[in-house]
Structure 1
Amino acid sequence: MRRLVIAYSLYVIAIWIFFPLVYPELHTAASRYASIGHAVYFSRLPLLPMLLYIVWKNHRWKELAASLERRLSRLPAAAVFVLILVLLYGVVQLPFRLAGYWNARNEAISVQPFSDWLGEYALSLLLLYLAVTAVVFLSQLLMKKFPKNWWISLWVMLVPCVIFVVYVQPIWIDPLYEDFHHLREGQLRTQIQQLTAEAGIPDATLLEIGKSAETVTYNAYVTGVFDSARVVLYDTTIEGLEQEEVLFIVAHEIGHYVLHHVYWGTAGFLVLGLFLLWMTKRLSAVYLAKRKLQAHQLQAMPLFLLLLTGFQLISQPVSLYVSREMEQQADAYALEHAPDTVAGIRMFQKMQSVSQGDPDPWPIITWLRSTHPPMQDRIKTIKEYTENKQKQ
């Protein structure tokens, strides 16, 4: 364990030497904010798998799990075990979360008071605790009842949970964090309604979210299922961008909805989840046999969480690639449907200026981290589209 902690410590030191000090010198397009953001991200990347590995190997955690199972029934035992685990995770990742918050505040990207940030962090840990406790308890029940095919049963139970998170969270969970209200009447609302009508979603709910108390960045998104689309705009987007620029970003988000990216993403996640659960079942059987443990025992839970987290980490570049492809498709939709395509260039330039992100990260960083194509590539695509259209 000591070697692992030392190795991780050396890794973090190298990350914080390279990105804040060396990377900006080698890649002058990257701002200080973006460079530190990379350092925070890559510092946290292996943290959860490492923590779960230590828990799995540490004899004190084994004794704790065994003691809880002897003294408590299944649900309370799982609740106490997961509570300690989530609190530990919250503590060990807190320095990096604080570094990210400080970085955003120092560069004037975030204006969120520390008390609000801390409250949201605590709420996120609470929701994580409730979710993991439910998953652990349900997994134990299924593993005991279906010792050979629990992974299939667990996947079947995963389907409604994923649907709930993807489709219900924007309506029920997000309001716990944010202040939503209907988009104000005016020309912008009228033109957005024209875009939604052309997209076949004339009854879309148009909302504005108050983010100016937290950040200065621009954003918008579209959520909902079937005909219940919800177009959500940051108030910073409305105030900071020209109307044609706002319409371009809205057209992009409508593109995600029209192209059914949420459905495809959900289907892809479920297929990947089935594969990861199968791999976890096969691999965990080897380690559990060595320790003479049953899958449904609380002592085995860190192993399952470790394997799932590890497999998810390995598959993440593929998920990120799919996300970038979907973003490119949404950009293409916006180019065909936004009233002013050139406004997209101005919008991306302003977004880059305000967010201070890395406009053209190294390919390996894009591969390991980016959900969106590099900003310079997106601007280049619009310029090429405009030039080709003028030649026609």
Structure 2
Amino acid sequence: MKKVLFAYAVYLLAIWSFFLLAYPDLNRDVSAYASIGHAVYFSRLPLLPIFLFAVWKDSKLQEFAASLEQRLPKLFALAVFLLLLTGLYGIVQLPFRLAGFWNARQGQISVQPFGDWAGEYLLSLLLFYLAVTAVVFLSQLLMKRFRKSWWIVLWLLLVPGAIFVVYIQPMWIDPLYEDFHPLPDGELRTDIEQLTDAAGIPDATLLEVDKSAKTVTYNAYVTGLFGSARVVLYDTTIDGLAEDEVLFIVTHEIGHYVLHHVYWGTAGFLVLGFLLLWVTKRVSDKILAKKQITAHQLQAVPLFLLILGLLQFASTPVSLYVSREMERQADDYALEHAPDTAAGIRMFEKMQEVSKGDPDPWPVFEWLRSTHPSNRDRIEKITEYEKNR
């Protein structure tokens, strides 16, 4: 374990030295905010697998798990053990979370007060703890009942889980963090309704979310399944962009809905989940047999979380590639259906100005981090479209 921690320390030194000293010279368009953002992101990238590996290898934590299982009912023992792990991980990642918060404040991207940020961080840990406890408890029940096929049954239960994340979370969980209200009547709402009518989603719910208390950046997104759609605009987007620029970003989001990206994303999640659970079952069987631990024992929990964490880490580039392709498709839709395609150039230029992100990241950084194409690539695409139309 000491070798792993030493390697991670060397990794951190290399990451921060590169992004603070070398990368700004090699990519002169990058801001200090973007460089530090890269450093924070790549510092956290392997953190969860390393933490879970340390937990799995720690004999005292393993003994503690075994003693809890002997003294307490299953659910209570699991709840106590996962509360400890969640608390420890919250502390371990806190320095990097604080670095991200500080960087956003220094870069004048965030205006969120520290107390509000800290409250959201604790709320996220609480919701994460409750979700993991419920999923692990259900998984262990299935492991005990279906010793060979538990992973298939668990995968089938991912379907309602995915529906919850896509359909229920925006209505129940997101309002815990933000204030949502209907988009006010006026010319902008009328123009957006014309876009949604033309796209075949006349009943779309149009919402504005109060983001100006936390950030200066612009954004919008769309959610919804089963014939419903929720188009959500940041209040900063409405206040900071011209109407034709807002309509371009809204058309892009409508494109996600019309092109069924929510369905494709859900299907991809289920396919990935099937593969991850299958591999987890095969790998864990071999390791647990050597340790003489059964899958439904509390001591096995860190191993399952570790395997899933490593597999998720390995699959991240694929997930990010799919995300970028969907964004490109939505951009294509906006080019064909937005009232003013040239407004997209102005919109992306303004987004780049206020977000201060990396305008042209190296391919390896885009591959490992970016959910969207770079603003520079998107502007060039619109410019080329305008020339050839």
| Counterpart residue identity of residue 305, structure 1 | L
What corresponds to 1:180 in structure 2?
180
What SS is found at the alignment partner of 1:62? helix
Q: 2:224 touches 2:262 (CA, 8 Å); kept in 1?
A: no
Note the C-alpha offset of 1:227.
2.6
What SS is found at the alignment partner of 1:222? strand
What are the residue-to-residue correspondences of 1:119-130 with 2, within 5 Å?
119-130=119-130
In structure 2, distance between residues paired with 1:206 and 1:276: 36
Confirm or deny that 1:46 pairs with 2:56. Answer: no
| Counterpart residue identity of residue 310, structure 1 | L
In structure 1, distance between residues paired with 2:18 and 2:61: 35
| Counterpart residue identity of residue 177, structure 1 | Y
Cα displacement string for residues 159-184 of structure 1 (whole angstroms, at most 9, x for unaligned residues): 21121111110011000000001111
What SS is found at the alignment partner of 2:157? helix
What are the residue-to-residue correspondences of 1:149-164 with 2, within 5 Å?
149-164=149-164
TM-score (norm 1): 0.98
Q: 2:166 touches 2:225 (CA, 8 Å); kept in 1?
A: no
Confirm or deny that 1:118 pairs with 2:145. Answer: no
| Counterpart residue identity of residue 138, structure 1 | L
TM-score (norm 2): 0.99
In structure 2, distance between residues paired with 1:327 and 1:42: 23
Note the C-alpha offset of 1:228.
1.8
What SS is found at the alignment partner of 1:181? strand
What corresponds to 1:336 in structure 2?
336
Cα displacement string for residues 257-316 of structure 1 (whole angstroms, at most 9, x for unaligned residues): 000001000001101100110000001111101100100001001000000110011011
Cα displacement string for residues 144-166 of structure 1 (whole angstroms, at most 9, x for unaligned residues): 00111111011112221121111
What corresponds to 1:199 in structure 2?
199
What SS is found at the alignment partner of 1:206? strand
In structure 1, distance between residues paired with 2:247 and 2:226: 23
What corresponds to 2:253 in structure 1?
253
In structure 1, distance between residues paired with 2:269 and 2:228: 22
What corresponds to 1:142 in structure 2?
142
Cα displacement string for residues 34-90 of structure 1 (whole angstroms, at most 9, x for unaligned residues): 000000000000000000001111101110110010001110011001000000110
| Counterpart residue identity of residue 254, structure 2 | I
Q: Which consecutive aligned stretches of 4+ in structure 1 deviate over 2 angstroms post-superposition? A: none
In structure 2, distance between residues paired with 1:280 and 1:120: 32
In structure 2, distance between residues paired with 1:39 and 1:232: 30
In structure 2, distance between residues paired with 1:62 and 1:181: 48
What corresponds to 1:108 in structure 2?
108
| Counterpart residue identity of residue 371, structure 2 | T
Which runs of no fewer than 5 residues in structure 2 stay unpaired?
Answer: none
| Counterpart residue identity of residue 163, structure 1 | I
In structure 2, distance between residues paired with 1:95 and 1:13: 15
In structure 2, distance between residues paired with 1:365 and 1:311: 19
| Counterpart residue identity of residue 248, structure 1 | F
What are the residue-to-residue correspondences of 1:348-363 with 2, within 5 Å?
348-363=348-363
In structure 2, distance between residues paired with 1:51 and 1:174: 28
What are the residue-to-residue correspondences of 1:1-392 with 2, within 5 Å?
1-389=1-389
In structure 1, distance between residues paired with 2:93 and 2:268: 29
What SS is found at the alignment partner of 1:278? helix
Number of residue pairs matched? 389
Which runs of no fewer than 5 residues in structure 1 stay unpaired?
Answer: none
In structure 1, distance between residues paired with 2:153 and 2:73: 22
Q: 2:221 touches 2:231 (CA, 8 Å); kept in 1?
A: yes
In structure 1, distance between residues paired with 2:164 and 2:212: 28
In structure 1, distance between residues paired with 2:55 and 2:205: 46
Cα RMSD after superposing both structures? 0.7
In structure 1, distance between residues paired with 2:375 and 2:235: 22
Q: 2:110 touches 2:215 (CA, 8 Å); kept in 1?
A: yes
Note the C-alpha offset of 1:226.
2.6
In structure 2, distance between residues paired with 1:151 and 1:208: 40
| Counterpart residue identity of residue 339, structure 1 | P
Cα displacement string for residues 131-150 of structure 1 (whole angstroms, at most 9, x for unaligned residues): 11011101110000011111
Aligned-residue identity in percent: 71
In structure 1, distance between residues paired with 2:222 and 2:286: 44
In structure 2, distance between residues paired with 1:257 and 1:190: 19
Cα displacement string for residues 197-216 of structure 1 (whole angstroms, at most 9, x for unaligned residues): 00001111111100000000
| Counterpart residue identity of residue 245, structure 1 | E
In structure 2, distance between residues paired with 1:80 and 1:158: 25
